[in-house]
């Protein structure tokens, strides 16, 4: 692993199903973030974590949950997917909050 890795790369999901998007970084960055990107709306912050063991809500947290059990992993869970959650999801990390984000390559999720 070099940098930040997201999985899966893409997924088609039936509405109502539960889904966890994985994000792992090997840079020992303290802060991690989940964004969604929709056409014409840029990137919107879903949830964030300033350090292991803490999480916070971003701009569009409804329908999503996160956990930060350790420094490296920051999974994003959709408890019951809906079509409006169709989007490209980017995970990012930074050595300290707000500075020098490194982004993953994204997960393209389609909820049908």
Partner 1 sequence: GQSLEQPSEVTAVEGAIVQINCTYQTSGFYGLSWYQQHDGGAPTFPSYNALDGLEETGRFSSFLSRSDSYGYLLLQELQMKDSASYFCAPLNDYKLSFGAGTTVTVRA
Please report, as ranges, the residues that interact with partner 1 according to CB under 8 A: 31, 33, 35, 37, 40-45, 48, 50, 58-59, 88, 90, 97-106
Q: Whole-angstrom Cα distance, residue 90 to residue 7?
A: 10
In the bound complex, what is the minimum distance in angstroms from residue 80's beta carbon to partner 1? 26
Write the CA distances from 29 to 73, 95, 98, integer angstroms.
10, 4, 11
In the bound complex, what is the minimum distance in angstroms from residue 77's beta carbon to partner 1? 20
In the bound complex, what is the minimum distance in angstroms from residue 25's beta carbon to partner 1? 13
**Closest to partner 1 by CB, 18 or 96:** 96
Q: Whole-angstrom Cα distance, residue 85 to residue 60?
A: 11
């Amino acid at each position: 692993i070099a940098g930040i890795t997201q999985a899966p790369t893409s997924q088609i999901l039936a509405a109502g199903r539960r889904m966890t998007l994985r994000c792992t970084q090997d840079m020992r960055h303290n802060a991690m973030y989940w964004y969604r990107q929709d056409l014409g709306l840029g990137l919107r912050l879903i949830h964030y974590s300033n350090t292991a063991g803490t999480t916070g809500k971003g701009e569009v947290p409804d329908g999503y949950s996160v956990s930060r059990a350790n420094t490296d992993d920051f999974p994003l869970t959709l408890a019951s997917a809906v079509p409006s959650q169709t989007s490209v999801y980017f995970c990012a990390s930074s050595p300290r909050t707000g500075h020098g984000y490194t982004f993953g390559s994204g997960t393209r999720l389609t909820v049908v």
